[in-house]
Amino acid sequence: MWRNKNVWILLIGEFVAGLGLWLGIIGNLEFMQEKVPSDFMKSVILAAGLLAGVAIGPLAGRVTDQHKKKTVMLVAGFARTISVVFMLIAIQTDSVLWMVVFLVMIQVSAAFYFPALQAAIPLVVKDHELLEMNGVHMNVATLSRILGTAVAGIFLVMMSLSMMYVVSLAAYLCLVIMTFFIQIDEDQDQKQSASNNRGGFKNLFPIVKQLPIVTMTLIMTMVPLLFIGGFNLIVINISEIQDSSLIKSWIYTAEGLSFMIGAFTVKRLSKHMSPYTILFLFSFIIGLSQLLLFFASSPVLAIIAFVTFGFSVGCFFPTAATIFQTRVPKEYHGRFFSFRNMLDRIIFQAVLLLTGLMLDLIGLQAMAIVFGVVSLTITITFFSKYRRSNTSEIVNVKAG
């Protein structure tokens, strides 16, 4: 895999684009802090871009399946580069409206780019390399997040906000240039099949329905999202409970590093466990890490909870991605990953609102119990169904 130049192009491109993304995110927050006094209006502005990305999802999935993945990635990458120009206009004119245009355009371009990227990965590596590739790819994204936020903080001191967005634009442009050099061998029959099948999600759902393991994995992704959706709110709440600002840095660092270790470790675990065993095991451990937050007043136990969660998610997500890439037919990958992207965004926002509400009403400790019980219930329920379905298959084979 490491001799495949496409792999290096995708990973380096992800790292560079990730730096640009996080420079932009920190820049967005800085701009809104200066121009938008209301926290509610800040959330509305951010939600505008998110909703645009969700709305365009069905079209993005269909387009990804009907056209070459490289072409979709190039056009989406170029659109993302151009979108930064609107943010530069917003800064020069002190206009929040131009910032909304920027957020909408960058989210729409992301709605096309990421399903195409996920659909392209199985086309540039072999099936037995997918798990390792997914793990490394997620590690690169995590590393770019850690470095991107750190560099953004330094840049805010060293340079103007406009200049920081210029650096972000340069990073996106580098990604577009690198994408030109990717060589993806898309099967002609597959492309013809996708061109003939122009339906949207309505054509996808019957296929997914025939793949119970895919449906189960989709639903089980709710388990880590229950934690991730309100991650920042939980960290802030722990900081308040412990009356410590330093604990936030320790938590973010511990979680990020443990995620990376998990994503590297999962390849070795896959030699001794099936993907489904890994999925259920770490989904169960995620539920336990949520329960552990009942002791959030203890700095040591709080960090242990996030280390456990980070490692588990580092094993869970590459495994889930591999299941999706190998079980869903390739001619439906664009629509499937577009649908998954939409679903994740919707769940993320719902969990974010639910977390805020529960923190206000019942507090972190009670919420940790609720989320932990829900996560364990989902895991145990689907594990039982999976065991029963496997047992039934074995009985049918013996009877045959």
Residue keyed to tokens 């709305």: 55
Among candidate residues 47, 378, 60, 11, the one with its CA nearest the CA of residue 219: 378
pLDDT, one tens digit per residue, over 267-323 is: 888 888 888 888 899 999 999 999 999 998 888 999 999 999 989 998 898 888 888
Domains and CATH numbers, the chain: 1-198 (1.20.1250.20), 212-327+362-400 (1.20.1250)
pTM: 0.71
Residues with pLDDT less than 50, the chain: 189, 192-194, 196, 392-400
End-to-end CA distance of the chain: 41
pLDDT, one tens digit per residue, over 50-90 is: 777 777 877 777 787 777 888 888 898 898 889 889 989 98
Cα separation, 397 vs 47, whole angstroms: 51
Separation in Å, CA 40 to CA 1, 37, 45: 47, 9, 9
Contacts of residue 139, Cβ cutoff 8 Å, sequence gap at least 6: 259, 260, 263, 264, 314
CA dihedral (147, 148, 150, 155) in degrees, to 10, reads 130
Cα separation, 131 vs 137, whole angstroms: 10
Sign of CA dihedral 243, 143, 132, 116: positive
3-state helix, strand, coil in the chain (%, to 5): 90, 0, 10
Query: Two tokens at 35?
Result: 């121009």
Residue 253: the pLDDT is: 78
Q: Can you give the C-alpha Rg of the chain in angstroms?
A: 21
Residue keyed to tokens 């136990």: 301
Longest Cα–Cα distance of the chain, Å, equals 75
Residue keyed to tokens 């969660």: 309
Geometric angle at alpha carbon 319, from 56 and 9, rounded to 5°: 65
Residue 399: the pLDDT is: 40
